[in-house]
Amino acid sequence: MAATRLGAILCEEGMISDLQLAEALQVQKEEQSRIGDILVDLGYLTKRQLRYVIREHKRRIPLGEYLLEKGIITAEELESALGKKDGTRQQLGQTLIDSSIITEEQLAEALSEQLDMPYIVPYQRLVDRRVFTRLPADFMRHNKVLPLAEREGVTTVLVPGLLDEATSQLLENVFGQDIELAICPPSRIQELIDSLLEQTTVPGLAEEGAEDEMLAADEVGRMDMAGERFRRGAVETQAVDVVNYLINEAINEEASDVHLESMNNRVQVRFRTNGIITRKMDLPLNIRDAVFRRIKVLSGLNVSETHKEQEGRLMGRLEDVKVDMRVSILVGMLGEALVLRLFRQDTDMIAIEDVGMTPNVYAMCRRALDYASGMIIFAGPPASGKTTSLYAALNHLNRPGTKIVTVEEPVEAILPGTIQAQLSSYRGSTLADVINAAIHQDPDVIAVGEIPYSTQARDVLWSALMGHKMLTTFHADDTVGSLLRLTDLGIKTFLRSSTALTIVCQRLVRRICPHCRAVFQPDQQALREFPIRDFDPSKYDFYHGKGCKECQNTGFAGRTGVFEALTVNDDLREAFLAGAPASEVLKVARSTMPFLTINEIGALKVIRGITTADEILRVAPLVSRDREMKNPLSMPEIERISEASLFGE
pLDDT in tens, 364-378: 999 999 988 888 999
Q: Which one of 77-81, 558-562, 618-622 scores highest in mean pLDDT?
A: 558-562
Q: Is the pLDDT of residue 242 over 80?
A: yes
User: In this structure, are strands 335-344 and 321-332 parallel, antiparallel, or unpaired?
Assistant: antiparallel
Report the distance separating Cα 367 and Cα 361, nearest Å: 10
pLDDT tens digit string along 206-236?
333 333 332 232 333 334 444 444 344 556 6
DSSP states of 484-500 as a string? HHHGGGTHHHHHHS---
- What pLDDT score does 515 carry? 92
Q: Is the pLDDT of residue 59 over 80?
A: no
pLDDT tens digit string along 445-486?
999 988 776 566 666 667 666 777 889 998 888 888 888 777
DSSP states of 281-317 as a string? EEEEGGGHHHHHHHHHHHTT--TT--SS-EEEEEEEE
For residue 410, is the peptide bond before it cis, meaning its omega torsion is within 30 degrees of 0?
yes
pTM of the entire structure?
0.68
- What pLDDT score does 233 carry? 52
pLDDT tens digit string along 98-133?
888 888 888 888 888 777 788 887 777 778 888 888
- What pLDDT score does 433 carry? 83
Strand partners, 519: 543
Average pLDDT on 601-625 reads 86
Q: Is the pLDDT of residue 561 over 90?
A: yes
The DSSP code for 31 is: H
- What pLDDT score does 299 carry? 86
Residue scoring higher pLDDT (198 or 138): 138
- What pLDDT score does 231 carry? 40
- Cα Rg, the chain, nearest whole Å: 28
Which amino acid, residue 213? E
Q: Is the pLDDT of residue 428 over 70?
A: yes
Report the distance separating Cα 8 and Cα 372, nearest Å: 70
pLDDT tens digit string along 500-546?
889 999 999 999 999 999 998 887 777 888 888 888 888 889 999 98
- What pLDDT score does 220 carry? 33
Q: Is the pLDDT of residue 263 over 50?
A: yes
Which amino acid, residue 186? P
SS3 state at 422? strand
Percent of the chain with pLDDT over 70: 84
Nearest Cα neighbor of 50 from 32, 61, 60, 38 is 38
Report the distance separating Cα 258 and Cα 557, nearest Å: 19
Asked whether the beta carbons of 571 and 514 are under 8 A apart, the reply is no
Q: Which long-range contacts (CB under 8 A, 24 or more apart) does 320-326 make?
A: 321/251, 321/346, 322/346, 323/247, 323/251, 325/247, 325/299, 326/410
Q: Is the pLDDT of residue 325 over 50?
A: yes
- What pLDDT score does 471 carry? 93
Average pLDDT on 253-280 reads 89
270 pLDDT band, cuts 50/70/90, is: very high
Which amino acid, residue 66? Y
Nearest Cα neighbor of 104 from 119, 126, 84 is 119
- The answer to whether the Cα torsion of 36, 38, 40, 43 is positive or negative is negative
Average pLDDT on 272-295 reads 87
Average pLDDT on 401-406 reads 93
Nearest Cα neighbor of 450 from 436, 431, 464, 429 is 431
In sequence order, the 6+-apart residues with CB closer than 8 A to the CB of 134 are: 147, 174, 175
Percent of the chain with pLDDT over 90: 22
**CA quadruple 10, 15, 19, 20: dihedral, nearest 10:** -90
- What pLDDT score does 504 carry? 95
Segment holding 66, helix H or strand E:
helix 63-69
- What pLDDT score does 445 carry? 93
In sequence order, the 6+-apart residues with CB closer than 8 A to the CB of 32 are: 263
Average pLDDT on 428-452 reads 85
**CB atoms closer than 10 angstroms to residue 336:** 22
For the chain, how many residues are written? 649
DSSP states of 555-579 as a string? SEEEEEEEEEEEE--HHHHHHHHTT
Strand partners, 510: 559
SS3 state at 521? coil
Q: Is the pLDDT of residue 644 over 50?
A: yes
52-67 b/e with 16+ CB inside 10 Å = b? ebbeebbeebebbebb
Q: Is the pLDDT of residue 151 over 80?
A: no
- Tell me which of 52-56, 131-135, 393-397, 589-593 is least confident: 52-56
